[in-house]
Amino acid sequence: MNAKIKTLEEISEICSKLKSEGKSIVTTNGSFDILHAAHVRILERAKQEGDLLIVLLNSDSSIKKLKGNNRPIIPERERAYMIASLECVNYVVIFNEDNPLEILRQVKPHKHVKGGTFVSERIKEEETLVSEWGGEFRHFEVEEGYSTTNIIKNVLEKYSGENGKIS
């Protein structure tokens, strides 16, 4: 497995060390179920906000709670591996909760970035929490035409009319 994938305990230690070296830590979070170009662009932009980027990745169980039993499409270890393989990502931490608040409390990033679609009440909690230690919250607008849900719908539409036949 990719060495960039860390536990909460490991990332807490890493962040303490990096902060003592004066490094600026940026976090973002999400499901990243079917990785697409808009995901990658958001991650690249987030990385530009500081010295290193930590992606807080929803576990399979948390995605099921948020998006239903048919999700995720890609299991958490595979999603973590793909995200960690991106040059712009320094570390990935998988979390089981509905939101990343506990990890944010422990890491205390200088900036927390959200991109794409979101539930405003949940985002407000993250924004309020990050501001408690003087961190900055950034939101990048959704990039139209990209969504995991639309990719799933597109695949189903393309192959449902041909008896599920894939050529």
**pTM value > 0.75:** yes
Write down the mean pLDDT value for the chain: 89
Structural domains of the chain sorted by starting position, each given as residue range(s) with its CATH number in brackets: 5-160 (3.40.50.620)
Q: 30 pLDDT exceeds 70?
A: yes
22 phi/psi in degrees, rounded to 5: 85, 15
Sheet holding 52-58, edge to edge: 5-6, 91-95, 52-58, 25-30, 111-115, 136-140
Structural contact between residues 158 and 40, judged by C-beta atoms closer than 8 angstroms: no
**For range 140-154, the mean pLDDT:** 71
Q: pLDDT by residue (tens digit) across 128-146?
A: 999 999 999 998 876 666 6
Please give the pLDDT value at position 167: 54
Q: pLDDT by residue (tens digit) across 90-127?
A: 999 999 998 999 999 999 999 999 986 666 777 889 99
